[in-house]
Amino acid sequence: MTGVRIVGLAGAEPSRLGEALVAAGVDVGDTEPDAVIVAIDLSCDVGDEERELLAAQSAPTAIVACGVERHPDWPETTARARDALDPDRALALFAVSAADGRGVDDLADWCRAPDTAAPAPARRTPTPVVALADPVRVAAGPQRSDRMSGLRAGIAAARTETATAVRESVQSLAVTADRACADVRDGRAFGAWLIESIGVIASTAEAGLDERLNHVRRTATLGLPGVDPGDIAPEPPMRPASPPPHRNGSGEDAVVLLLGAAGGFGAGRMLVAPLVDGWLLGGVVTAVVGVAVAAWIVGVRRTAAARASLRRWTADTVSLARTSMEHRLIARVTAVEAHVSREIWNRTGPRRV
């Protein structure tokens, strides 16, 4: 006996594999070989032709998947081919790339010293319907890597869209609230409106994010057994912001009152004294005008101070609300991604050849 015989359909390119083995120093022949190689085509599943080729061999035989560089899913296809041709795992199995020589050296070593027996007599294969009950289950639908890639892409898109929507809504609210501060008459009513508006933005953003995440989850886990088809449990609502602080009287107000009174009496004396005869009547009128001017000055100063304080509270509240919403959204996305990844990982597995 001499050399190695290579058999296979045209799609497996047995001649190309033979050239690679010859270049590796293997004697390739057609008559009375020491070993036989059955080349399989990875572009389709094996059929009766490959079974007949395998059953006709009487020498030590190896199954070789050719052209793996052109088929990224070659492990899955090769596993199905071995399940069909060699369910007992009695034959040698190789995967080679004749284009760049990967796997050829290992195959050449086996050709020089084949360590497997000849193929067992062919058994009658069941019909495809019966084959569905075979213990070796072929995974249906996308594989783990495809599901994980789709999950990450969907999660990233949902996070980006929601964060952009929150940023735009909060910025618009900040501009509107700052303009409203110039005409505020009731600080408590303004504070209640701002807190309610922040709550609406937060609830709308979280509801939209949950809808996107549920869609991504249903798509990524489609066809997996044991996955709850319901929606993910929502997060508790965000804690509302604190109301605007009540401004109490201080030493600054006393100083403003004193300066306003002094200014009011001085203005009243300048305006009224030349027009009124008599010190008594002039003093009374001066006092009345002075009190009115002082009250006006104090009122204007207090209103300006209250609006400045309300502006500071508005800016701080909007900034804290935006930060809180972004942190909640990131935490929500991270938790859902971890949960769905665990669901996919526990219910899928890589094919082992």
Q: Which residue, of 84, 110, 131, is where some domain finishes?
A: 131
Q: 268 with 293: CB under 8 angstroms?
A: yes
Model confidence pLDDT, tens digit, residues 188-234: 888 888 888 998 998 899 889 988 988 888 888 887 777 766 666 66
From residue 198, alpha-carbon distances to 87, 161, 174, 245 in Å are 64, 18, 10, 18
Whether residue 148 is found in the same domain as residue 279 = yes
Model confidence pLDDT, tens digit, residues 233-282: 666 666 666 666 665 656 666 676 677 667 666 766 666 666 655 556 66
Whether residue 62 is found in the same domain as residue 118 = yes
Q: Is residue 352 included in any domain, yes or no?
A: no
Tokens of 230: 């319901």
Where in the sequence is the domain holding 293, given as residue range(s)? 144-347
Whether residue 324 is found in the same domain as residue 211 = yes
Whether residue 199 is found in the same domain as residue 316 = yes
Whether residue 178 is found in the same domain as residue 320 = yes
Q: Which residue, of 98, 131, 164, is where some domain finishes?
A: 131
Ranges of H-type helices in the chain: 14-23, 48-55, 74-85, 104-112, 128-131, 144-181, 187-220, 251-272, 279-347
Q: Is residue 139 included in any domain, yes or no?
A: no
**What was the pLDDT predicted at 297?**
73
Burial of 233 (0-12, 13-18, 19+ CB in 10 A): exposed
**What was the pLDDT predicted at 168?**
92
Tokens of 2: 């001499």
Q: Which residue, of 131, 158, 192, is where some domain finishes?
A: 131
Whether residue 106 is found in the same domain as residue 152 = no
Tell me the mean pLDDT in the region 108-130: 67
Q: Is residue 137 included in any domain, yes or no?
A: no
From residue 278, alpha-carbon distances to 208, 281, 285, 290, 291 in Å are 77, 6, 11, 18, 20
Q: Is residue 32 included in any domain, yes or no?
A: yes
* Domain count along the chain: 2
Whether residue 171 is found in the same domain as residue 125 = no
**What was the pLDDT predicted at 240?**
64
- pLDDT over threshold 50, residue 133: no
For the chain, percent of residues with pLDDT exceeding 90:
7
**What was the pLDDT predicted at 136?**
37
**What was the pLDDT predicted at 276?**
58
Burial of 313 (0-12, 13-18, 19+ CB in 10 A): buried
Whether residue 93 is found in the same domain as residue 42 = yes
Q: 7 with 37: CB under 8 angstroms?
A: yes
Listed range (111-120, 272-281, 287-296) with the worst mean pLDDT: 272-281
Long-range contacts of 339-343 (CB under 8 A, 24+ apart): 339/232, 340/151, 340/216, 340/217, 340/220, 340/221, 341/148, 341/151, 343/221, 343/224, 343/227
Report the CATH number at residue 30. 3.40.50.300
Q: 312 with 233: CB under 8 angstroms?
A: no
**What was the pLDDT predicted at 282?**
62
Model confidence pLDDT, tens digit, residues 162-189: 999 999 999 999 999 888 887 777 778 8
Whether residue 169 is found in the same domain as residue 204 = yes
Q: Residue 242 is which amino acid?
A: S
Model confidence pLDDT, tens digit, residues 296-342: 777 777 777 778 888 888 888 888 889 989 898 898 899 888 888 88
**What was the pLDDT predicted at 232?**
66
Q: Is residue 224 included in any domain, yes or no?
A: yes
- For 278: left if phi > 0, alpha if psi spans -120 to 50, otherwise beta; the answer is left
Tokens of 349: 């597995």
Q: What is the pTM of this model?
A: 0.50
Q: Is residue 138 included in any domain, yes or no?
A: no
Whether residue 125 is found in the same domain as residue 156 = no
Whether residue 200 is found in the same domain as residue 333 = yes
> Which helix (H) or strand (E) segment is 40 a member of?
strand 35-41
Whether residue 51 is found in the same domain as residue 183 = no
Who wins on pLDDT, 89 or 32? 89
Mean predicted lDDT score pLDDT of the chain: 78
